[in-house]
Amino acid sequence: MEILLDSANIAQIRALLPYFPIDGFTTNPSILSKDSDDVKKTLTQLLELSDGKRMIHAQVTAADTAGMVAQAKMLQDFLGENFYVKLPINHQGLRAIPLCREAGINVTVTAVFTPMQALMAAKAGANYVAPYVDRLDNITSDGVKVVGEIVELLATYHMETQVLAASFKNVQQVYNVASMGAQAVTVNPALCEKLIFHPYTDKSMEDFEIDWRQKFGAKEITDFLQ
């Protein structure tokens, strides 16, 4: 499963990259408006952090098909082959999907809330569809269940489109969509940290340290090999 960071906070991303197996970054207009005062600089930094291998998913701000495609081409020129344009699942976005794909631009369809939206995006040629898990939960729906239905529906029709689940508030939601077969998730940096946390892991390491030092003092295990 691919794990992406849903953030444009460069400092937080830099802090995580040496440790976590991150496959890319996702942004949207809200994230950039919160995390960036200079969008070009932020995108340049994301490009540098992508290291020629991590994906960058960035959303257009145009509302019409022609504008979406034009912006997608400019973003592709700027961000390179690992760029994925995020398009909405509406009339204009649906029309833009095949036009972007024909231009050699990868597409992620965003703000997906139903399996049929995902199926239509897949039929139009989207590389990824991004269902919003917690937002569905907030309207008394079941976000994890919807992700599972999307995964199953796309598999039934042998669609190549992959599911990039988004909008998470806790680790349990991430685990649940992983169990449902989602091919990718995008999480904010704080939640990414929590993916590996368990208090008994820390307690176990502390116990190991205490037992070792009580027996062997300052020696390390490799000191016994000399």
Residue 217 lies in a domain: no
pLDDT digits (tens, 9 = 90+) for 126-147: 999 999 998 888 887 899 999 9
pLDDT digits (tens, 9 = 90+) for 115-125: 999 999 999 99
Among 97, 141, 101, which Cα is nearest to 119's?
A: 97
Residue 188 lies in a domain: yes
130-149: string of b/e by CB count within 10 Å (b at 16+)?
Answer: bbbbeebbeeeeebbebbbb
| 3-class DSSP assignment, residue 220 | coil
What pLDDT, on the 0 to 100 scale, is given for residue 140? 78
The H or E element that residue 209 is part of is helix 199-216
Residue 225 lies in a domain: no
Question: What is the distance between the terminal CA atoms of the chain, rounded to a whole angstrom?
Answer: 42
Positions marked catalytic = 86
Residue 186 lies in a domain: yes
What pLDDT, on the 0 to 100 scale, is given for residue 224? 97
Residue 43 lies in a domain: yes
Can you give the residue range of the structural domain that contains 114? 2-197
The H or E element that residue 85 is part of is strand 83-88
Residue 215 lies in a domain: no
Residue 208 lies in a domain: no
Residue 216 lies in a domain: no
What pLDDT, on the 0 to 100 scale, is given for residue 170? 97
CATH number, domain containing residue 124: 3.20.20.70
Please, are residues 118 and 75 in contact by the beta-carbon 8 Å criterion?
no
